[in-house]
C-alpha cells in the first residue's frame, strides 16, 4: 500500500480528524505505557516489610526472607531497613498508601505501645498514635493465630490492648547498662564499679591515665538520651517507683526542676563532662567506632550495639555492667530494658495471609533461634539460646529486667523539650544551658506552657 504524498507531507496529515485521532492515540498509548508496572511474574505476590532495626537483625532477617522465598515459590518478601532518624515518617506514609504488609506497629516513640495511664489522660496527655490507631481498628488482631503460642505469654500479655494482641514481640533489649572495654580497664587498673562514688573514681582514674571515659554520639541526639536511663534505673529500681514518679510529675505534685530530677541530671552532666569535648558533633555510628576501636573505655548504649562492636572489632574484649547510679550496690544490680522489634499487620495490608505465613515461618523454633543467634538480641520465646554476641551481657540476663524509664514515662504533651522529662538535649555541650538546674527549669517552664495550651 502506498501513502499518497503532496508537497512532501502525507495527504492524511492534512485531514483534521485524522490528525486529532493520531494525537489522541499517541497520548493514550503513552499514558498506558507509563502506568504499566514492571512486575516480573504475574502470579507472584510481594509482601513489604519496612523495619527500623539494628545491623544484626538486618543480616538475620535478610537471610530468613530468602529462605522463606525458597520454601514458598510465588511469594516474594521485600524486607526494607530504614534509618532510626526519619524511618518512622517513611513507614507512616507507606501505611497511609496501603503499601505495607508487616511493620513494627508503633510508628511513634518507644513507650507508646500500651494505653496511657489514667493520670496521664487527666493531666492533658493522650494515648499514643499507636493506641489510637488500634482502637480505630487499623491493625489486625492476631490473638487467634497459632504462632502466638510460641512466644513467652508474659511478654504477649504485657502488650495486649483491650485484650487483643496487635504486636508479636520478637526481640528485647537492655538499655540501662554500660558497655566497657575490659582490656582498657585492666590497663588503667580499675575494677567494675558497684556504687556511684566508685563510678566517679573509675572515671577520674581513666582520665588521669589519658583514656577517654565515654563515647557518645551526640549529633544524632537520641544516643545522649540513653545517659538518662542508667541513673533512672538505679535510683528508681522498681516499676512501681518509676510509675509513682510518672504520676507525681503528671499531677504536678513533683516539678521537673525538683531536687530529685536535678540529681539525675547531675549524673548526666558528669557523663557529658567526661566524654569527648566535641561529642555533640559526633554521629552515633562514629561514636560506636570510637568505642569499638578502643579510643573510649565505656559507652552508654543498648545491647543492640553489641553486634556492631564485635563486628567492627572482633578482638574487642567486651564487658557490660549495671549502671551504679546510687550508693547501694544491691539496688544498682539490676537492669532496665524494653521491647526491641515486633511485627504487626495493618488492616489495609495488601496480602495479610501471606504476611501471617511469613510470621508463622519466622516463629518456628529453628528459624527463630537462627534470628536470635545472628541478631544478638534477647529472645521473647522460652527455651531459646541467646547468641554468642551477647556473651558479655549474659550475666545480666540471669534475672528479669524492668521496663526502662523511657518506656514508663508516658508523655504526649505537645511541644515539650524532652520526651523523657529530662532536658538532655539542651545541657551543654549538647545545648547552651550550662547547669542541670537551668536545664530542668527550662523543661518545667515548657511543660507548664504546654499544659496551659491544652
Partner 1 sequence: MAKNILGYRASPSLGFVPAFAFIGFFALLPAVATFVLSFTDSTGSRGIPVNFIGIDNYLRFFESTGSNRISNALGNTLVFAILTTILINVFAFLIAVLLNRQNKFAVLTRSVVFLPTVLGVAVVGMIWTLFFNPLGGPAQSFLGIFGTQSAFLGDQSIAFGLVIFVNLWMYVGYSVIIYTAGLQAVPADLYEAAEIDGANWAQRTRLITLPMIAPAVTTNVLISIIGSLQSYQLIFVLTGAANPATSVLALELYRIAFGSGGTIPQQGLASAISMVQFVMIGVIAITLFIILRRREEQL
Residues 6+ apart with CB under 8 A from 328: 195
Choosing from 76, 219, 269, 356, the residue that interacts with partner 1 (CB under 8 A) is: 219
Element (H, E) at 157: helix 153-158
Burial of 41 (0-12, 13-18, 19+ CB in 10 A): exposed
Q: How far is the CB of 424 from partner 1 (least distance, A)?
A: 11
Query: Half-sphere exposure of residue 386, counting CA atoms within 13 Å on the CB side?
Result: 21
Can you tell me which residue has the cell 524511618? Answer: 87
Based on the shown chain and the rule CB under 8 A, indicate whether residue 338 belongs to the binding site for partner 1: no
**Please, which residue, 210 or 400, has the CB nearer to partner 1?**
210
**Please, which residue, 326 or 426, has the CB nearer to partner 1?**
426
Contact 151, 168 (CB under 8 A): yes
Choosing from 411, 440, 443, 444, the residue that interacts with partner 1 (CB under 8 A) is: 411
Choosing from 156, 412, 422, 440, the residue that interacts with partner 1 (CB under 8 A) is: 412
Q: What is the per-residue binding string for partner 1 in 131-170, x denoting contact by CB under 8 A?
A: -xx--xxx--------------------------------
Total site size for partner 1, rule CB under 8 A = 54
Choosing from 39, 67, 204, 414, the residue that interacts with partner 1 (CB under 8 A) is: 414
Based on the shown chain and the rule CB under 8 A, indicate whether residue 28 belongs to the binding site for partner 1: no
52 Rama sector, left if φ>0, alpha if ψ -120 to 50, beta otherwise: beta
**Please, which residue, 160 or 431, has the CB nearer to partner 1?**
431
43 Rama sector, left if φ>0, alpha if ψ -120 to 50, beta otherwise: alpha
Can you tell me which residue has the cell 545491647? Answer: 303
Q: How far is the CB of 164 from partner 1 (least distance, A)?
A: 15
Based on the shown chain and the rule CB under 8 A, indicate whether residue 269 belongs to the binding site for partner 1: no
Contact 104, 88 (CB under 8 A): no
Choose the stretch contacting partner 1; rule: CB under 8 A; options: 157-165, 203-211, 328-336, 412-420: 412-420
Q: Show contacts with partner 1 in window 73-132 (CB under 8 A).
A: 85, 88-89, 92, 95-96, 108-109, 111, 126, 128-129, 132
- Nearest CA to 444 out of 414, 423, 424 is that of 423
**Please, which residue, 184 or 224, has the CB nearer to partner 1?**
224
Burial of 258 (0-12, 13-18, 19+ CB in 10 A): middle
Q: How far is the CB of 308 from partner 1 (least distance, A)?
A: 17
Based on the shown chain and the rule CB under 8 A, indicate whether residue 210 belongs to the binding site for partner 1: no
Distance CA 244, CA 253 (A): 11
Q: Can you state the angle between helices 284-292 and 305-312, rounded to 10 degrees?
A: 60
Residues forming contacts to partner 1 in the complex (CB under 8 A) are 16, 19-20, 23, 85, 88-89, 92, 95-96, 108-109, 111, 126, 128-129, 132-133, 136-138, 218-222, 276-283, 286, 290, 347-348, 411-412, 414-416, 419, 425-426, 429-432, 442, 446, 449, 453
Amino acid at each position: 500500500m502506498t501513502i499518497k504524498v503532496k508537497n512532501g507531507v502525507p495527504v492524511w496529515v492534512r485531514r483534521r480528524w485524522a490528525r486529532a485521532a493520531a494525537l489522541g492515540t499517541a497520548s493514550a498509548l503513552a499514558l498506558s505505557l507509563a502506568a504499566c508496572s514492571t512486575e516480573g511474574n504475574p502470579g507472584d505476590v510481594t509482601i513489604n516489610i519496612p523495619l527500623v532495626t539494628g545491623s544484626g537483625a538486618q543480616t538475620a532477617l535478610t537471610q530468613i526472607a530468602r529462605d522463606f522465598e525458597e520454601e514458598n515459590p510465588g511469594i516474594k518478601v521485600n524486607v526494607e531497613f530504614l534509618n532510626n532518624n526519619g524511618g518512622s515518617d517513611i513507614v507512616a506514609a507507606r501505611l497511609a498508601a496501603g503499601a505495607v504488609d508487616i511493620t513494627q506497629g508503633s510508628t511513634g516513640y518507644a513507650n507508646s505501645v500500651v494505653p496511657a495511664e489514667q493520670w496521664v489522660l487527666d493531666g492533658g496527655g493522650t494515648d499514643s498514635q499507636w493506641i489510637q490507631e488500634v482502637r480505630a481498628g487499623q491493625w489486625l488482631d492476631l490473638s487467634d493465630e497459632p504462632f502466638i503460642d510460641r512466644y513467652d505469654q508474659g511478654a504477649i500479655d504485657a502488650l495486649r490492648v483491650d485484650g487483643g494482641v496487635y504486636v508479636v514481640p520478637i526481640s528485647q533489649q537492655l538499655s540501662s547498662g554500660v558497655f566497657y572495654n575490659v582490656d582498657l580497664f585492666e590497663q588503667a587498673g580499675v575494677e567494675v564499679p558497684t556504687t556511684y562514688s566508685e563510678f566517679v573514681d573509675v572515671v577520674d582514674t581513666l582520665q588521669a591515665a589519658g583514656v577517654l571515659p565515654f563515647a557518645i554520639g551526640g549529633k544524632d541526639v537520641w544516643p545522649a538520651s540513653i545517659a538518662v536511663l542508667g541513673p533512672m534505673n538505679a535510683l528508681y529500681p522498681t516499676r512501681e517507683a518509676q510509675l509513682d514518679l510518672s504520676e507525681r510529675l503528671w499531677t504536678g505534685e513533683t516539678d521537673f526542676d525538683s531536687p530529685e530530677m536535678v540529681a539525675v541530671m547531675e549524673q548526666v552532666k558528669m557523663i557529658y563532662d567526661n566524654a569527648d569535648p566535641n561529642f555533640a558533633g559526633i554521629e552515633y555510628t562514629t561514636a560506636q567506632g570510637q568505642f569499638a576501636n578502643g579510643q573510649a573505655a565505656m559507652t552508654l548504649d543498648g545491647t543492640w550495639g553489641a553486634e556492631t562492636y564485635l563486628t567492627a572489632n572482633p578482638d574487642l574484649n567486651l564487658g557490660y555492667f549495671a549502671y551504679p547510679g546510687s550508693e547501694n550496690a544491691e539496688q544498682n544490680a539490676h537492669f532496665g530494658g524494653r521491647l526491641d522489634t515486633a511485627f504487626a499487620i495493618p488492616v489495609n495490608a495488601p496480602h495479610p495471609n501471606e504476611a501471617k505465613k511469613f510470621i508463622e515461618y519466622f516463629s518456628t523454633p529453628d528459624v527463630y533461634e537462627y534470628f536470635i543467634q545472628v541478631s544478638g538480641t534477647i529472645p521473647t520465646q522460652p527455651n531459646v539460646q541467646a547468641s554468642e554476641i551477647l556473651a558479655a551481657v549474659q550475666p545480666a540476663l540471669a534475672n528479669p529486667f524492668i521496663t526502662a524509664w523511657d518506656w514508663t514515662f508516658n508523655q504526649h504533651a505537645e511541644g515539650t523539650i524532652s520526651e523523657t522529662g529530662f532536658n538532655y538535649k539542651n545541657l551543654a555541650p549538647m545545648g547552651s544551658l550550662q547547669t542541670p538546674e537551668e536545664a530542668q527549669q527550662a523543661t518545667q517552664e515548657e511543660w507548664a506552657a504546654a499544659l496551659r495550651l491544652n
